[in-house]
Each structure stands twice: as C-alpha cells, then as structure tokens.
Amino acid sequence: MAGGEVVIDSFDSEVLKGNPLGDQTRREIAIYLPPKYDASRRYPAAYGIVGYTGTGRSLLGIDPLGEDLKSRLDRLIRTGRMGSMIVPLPDCFTKVGGNQYINSSATGRYDDYLRKEIIPFVESRYRVSRRGIWGKSSGGYGSIVQGMLHPDTWSALADHSGDALFEFCYIMDFPKALAAFREHGGPAKWLRWYWRQPNRRKEELYPVLNTVGMAAHYSPNPKSQELGTDFPFDLESGEWRPEVWVRWRRWDPVNMIDRYASRLRRLRLVYIDCGTKDQYQLIWGARVLHKKLDDRHIKHVYEEFDDTHSFVSYRYDVSLPLLWKALS
C-alpha cells in the first residue's frame, strides 16, 4: 500500500541555547510528506504539536488496536477525504514533562522556537502554501493560544481537548503535587528525584509533573529558587496564593479570548472539540470557548463527542480534512 513518507530531520536551535532546564538544543523534527510528494508544488502544512509527556514522534507509534498518524494521513488522502498535505511534527519536550508552546523564562522560548526556527527550517526544505497548527491536550492549548497570539503566522487551527478553564482542570492536582513536594523537599528536588526514577509513568506522578510544568509555563519567576517558578500555593502549608493564580488565569484560553478574540476572526479555520467525559474536565473549557466565540460571532467549528481524554486520535479524521480544506 503505497503511502506518504516520514522524514526525520534535525537541527540545532539558537533560540533554545542556554535554556534554563538544560534541555538539548539539537532536536529532531519528523515531517510527513504526502504520497507522490512533488518538490515543485506548494502544499498546505499542518504543524502538529503534541500533548504533555509526548514528543512529535510519539504520534507515529504503532498500535494494532488503533492507527498511527502516518497510516491515518495515508488513509485520509488515499480515500479522498482530504488532499495532500505536509505535516511537520516538532519535538518540544522539556524536563518539566512537555510544553505549552509559549515563551517562559522557566522553560525556554518555545513560541519563538516554533515560529522562528521550526517554520523556517521546514519551509526552506519544503514548499508550503498556508500554515495550520493542531494538537491535542497541551497541543490543543498550544494551537488555540498560537492562533490568538499569532494570526499572521497561522491560517487555521485545531484545538482538540485543549487545556482551558484552569480552575476545573488543574487545581485538583495541587494537593497531590504539594504532598510530593513536601516529601521530597520542594519542586526542584522533586524534579531531580523524578528523573532518577526508572518508571516515570506511574499514575501518581502525573499530577505532580503536570503541576510543575504548568507553573513553569504560567508563573515563571527568575528570582524563585524553585525551578525559577512560582506556585499558586504555599509550598509548605498549601495556603492559596491568589496573586500567583491570577497570573495563571492570564494564560487561560477562556480568559485570553476576552483580549484576543478578534484576532481569531482572521483565521480560515478555528476548530475546537472535546469529549464530554474528559477526565480532566476540559469539556467545560471548550464550552466556554465555544460560547464566547458565538457571543462575538466568530466563525468556528465546535464539536463534542462521547468519549474521554484518552485515545481519541480518531478525532483527527474530522479536523485534518477541515484543516486541509481551510489551508487549500
């Protein structure tokens, strides 16, 4: 079955040089090229950014009960559900477990990395007509935030089950994170301990890693001894720190949209979906986004589906063709 091709390339980032977490600067980028890729043509490019704890290549893992991204793209194109499209899959993984695809003094300038290095790298090698961005979970978050911040860069976005309505999706993790921080002597020590563990996917570790990661993105503070990061609760007693929470809220898409909605109007596609049983409660964030876009008469596609947050890559069957169409 003739399909497209995945090229694995890499380059050394300037933007990430000296990043505070000491994450590597030479990174791979996987790029899906459609079948019969023709270097003389221009193609739409749908940049895929992954969820927390993943990297671009995670999307390519084989699953006999499901479908890896390459097979999916091949099938969508082969069956005519969409046309040919380039799909670059950058690696933005960091030592705090992933990326929200924004600049932060505590993680690195990944917004810049994406726009100032990944895009030029891809587009110097492949001829791109229009650009879209899509992803799930943190990748969904990144997509809608990129769309709001940089409507000149992106012509379309698809936000699948993206982080939003932070009160509902993050706070429940804090008591678990706090307990772990106390046990290990604070977030910085916890993170060092974490990376020494042989199994870093134990269920009880996620809420802690996620709290570290979100704090590093939303409330960095170069003066903080704890990973250059402030936390919305006291690291000893757990007392709430409303002044830090306010900083998180500024990065919550449901609040950002109050400031940036008009920019979304310039996009050719704003796609949002979420599972009604999302175990991180992200359905509520999606509903608020949908409502606020509706209130402002901003055209968008909004879908709810009967599933959780997990193993919902079949939803790309909906978004990828829409992205292709919008970018064509």
| Residues at the site binding a copy of itself, with contacts judged by CB under 8 A | 53-55, 57-58, 60-66, 91, 93, 97, 165, 167-168, 171-172, 174-175, 178, 198-203, 233-234, 236-240, 254, 281, 284-285, 287-288, 291, 307-308, 310-312, 314, 317
Nearest distance in Å: CB 201, a copy of itself? 4
Nearest distance in Å: CB 284, a copy of itself? 4
Beta strands in the chain (DSSP E): 5-12, 26-33, 43-49, 87-90, 103-104, 108-109, 128-136, 156-160, 269-275, 301-305
Distance CA 5, CA 32 (A): 6
Q: Specify the residue, 152 or 204, whose C-beta has the smaller distance to a copy of itself.
A: 204
Q: Specify the residue, 197 or 262, whose C-beta has the smaller distance to a copy of itself.
A: 197
Q: What angle do CA 185, 189, 195 make, to 5 degrees?
A: 140
Instruction: Pull the structure tokens for residue 85.
Output: 């499209």
Nearest distance in Å: CB 169, a copy of itself? 9
Q: Specify the residue, 268 or 298, whose C-beta has the smaller distance to a copy of itself.
A: 298
Q: Which residues contact 243 (CB under 8 A, 6 or more apart)?
A: none
Instruction: Pull the structure tokens for residue 192.
Output: 């060092």
Q: Which residues contact 198 (CB under 8 A, 6 or more apart)?
A: none
> Does residue 126 contact residue 30 with C-beta atoms inside 8 Å?
no
Instruction: Pull the structure tokens for residue 150.
Output: 């940089």
Instruction: Pull the structure tokens for residue 255.
Output: 């609040």
Q: Which residues contact 9 (CB under 8 A, 6 or more apart)?
A: 28, 29, 30, 31, 121, 125
Nearest distance in Å: CB 268, a copy of itself? 26
Q: Specify the residue, 153 or 235, whose C-beta has the smaller distance to a copy of itself.
A: 235
Q: Specify the residue, 16 or 327, whose C-beta has the smaller distance to a copy of itself.
A: 16
Q: Specify the residue, 106 or 164, whose C-beta has the smaller distance to a copy of itself.
A: 164
Nearest distance in Å: CB 42, a copy of itself? 30
Nearest distance in Å: CB 117, a copy of itself? 19
Nearest distance in Å: CB 222, a copy of itself? 26
Q: Specify the residue, 58 or 103, whose C-beta has the smaller distance to a copy of itself.
A: 58
* Region for residue 298 given its phi and psi (left: phi exceeds 0; alpha: psi -120 to 50; beta: otherwise): beta
Q: Specify the residue, 130 or 298, whose C-beta has the smaller distance to a copy of itself.
A: 298
Q: What is the dihedral of CA 75, 321, 286, 302, to 10 degrees?
A: -130
> Does residue 324 contact residue 82 with C-beta atoms inside 8 Å?
yes
Nearest distance in Å: CB 300, a copy of itself? 15
